[in-house]
Every structure is written in structure tokens, then in C-alpha cells.
């Protein structure tokens, strides 16, 4: 190391140490930022059918009314997380079978990676404490979701 650089380091080091001793200890500051925001979109045609094979160029993202670059794009199907709450109150007694069948069809439509909780409300609210991937669990246990909802 050249002598002038060494002398500069030696001269600055005592000043920095003395300065650090004079300031009270402050808690560390955590700073964070977001560089990518996930925006999910489902596109359907006028008949309500899903529109397949869309690309990044088929979309325009605006923030504050100004076009914003879409940095990452994926058209892969994504798993969902839901809580299915079935109304069991006296006001729906006549519609219970229809609601049960609708819940059954909804649960059967879940994909293997989807997560769900199922609950009911009426005189009380009861929701499963487990957020689970129901489809693999039911398949492993050889459980028919229709039987669970009919119980």
C-alpha cells in the first residue's frame, strides 16, 4: 500500500471511532421496497368462456392512468385459496339442498393445488381451522367430497 494512503487511513480511523462514541445508540432501520406487484386477471369472452393463449402484448397495465411496463408475465393457471361458507340459517331451509349441491360442485371443481376452508353459519359460525389442499387429502383418504357435504 502506498505510504500516503496508509497515513490517510490511520488519520481517519481515530476520527471515525471518536465520532461513533459521541452519538447515542440508535435502533437499526429496516427499509423495504416493492419492485414487482402481482396482478391476476381472468379474461372471458362475451359468452363467459375463458380466453386462452393470451400473451403479454394482449394486456396494458396502467398505474395512475399511465402505461406501466409488464415485467413478468405468465399465462399458467394459478391455484386459488378460498373459504366456502354455507348459510345454514332458518331463512334458507327450503334452499338447503340446492345450496349443498352447489357447494358440492364447487368443491369438485377445485384443482389439486387449490386450498380451501369450509364452514357454515346460522345460529353459530363454524369454520374449519385447517386451510388445506382438499383434493389431494380427499384422494389420499379415498373420501368422496359429495359424502362430506351430504353429511
Read off the pLDDT of residues 60-78 as tens digits, 9 standing for 90 and up: 989 899 999 898 898 888 8
Q: How deeply is 107 buried, as exposed, middle or buried, from its count of CB atoms within 10 A (0-12, 13-18, 19+)?
A: buried
The pTM of the full predicted model, rounded to 2 decimals, is: 0.48
Q: Assign 3 a pLDDT band (cuts: 50, 70, 90).
A: very low
Say how far apart CA 70 and CA 46 lie, in whole Å.
Answer: 26
Q: Which fold has domain 81-150?
A: Rossmann fold (3.40.50)
Read off the pLDDT of residues 121-150 as tens digits, 9 standing for 90 and up: 888 888 877 766 666 655 555 555 555 555
Ranges of each domain in the chain: 81-150
Amino acid at each position: 500500500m502506498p505510504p500516503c494512503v496508509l497515513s490517510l487511513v490511520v488519520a481517519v480511523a481515530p476520527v471515525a471511532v471518536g465520532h461513533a462514541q459521541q452519538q447515542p445508540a440508535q435502533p437499526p432501520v429496516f427499509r423495504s421496497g416493492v419492485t414487482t406487484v402481482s396482478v391476476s386477471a381472468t379474461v372471458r369472452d362475451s359468452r363467459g368462456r375463458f380466453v386462452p393463449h393470451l400473451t403479454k402484448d394482449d394486456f396494458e397495465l396502467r398505474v395512475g392512468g399511465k402505461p406501466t411496463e409488464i415485467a413478468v408475465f405468465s399465462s399458467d393457471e394459478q391455484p386459488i385459496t378460498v373459504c366456502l361458507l354455507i348459510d345454514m340459517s332458518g331463512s334458507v331451509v327450503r334452499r338447503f339442498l340446492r345450496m349443498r349441491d352447489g357447494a358440492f360442485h364447487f368443491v369438485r371443481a377445485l384443482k389439486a393445488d387449490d386450498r380451501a376452508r369450509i364452514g357454515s353459519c346460522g345460529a353459530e359460525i363454524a369454520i374449519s381451522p385447517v386451510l388445506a389442499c382438499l383434493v389431494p387429502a380427499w384422494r389420499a383418504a379415498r373420501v368422496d367430497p359429495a359424502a362430506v357435504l351430504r353429511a
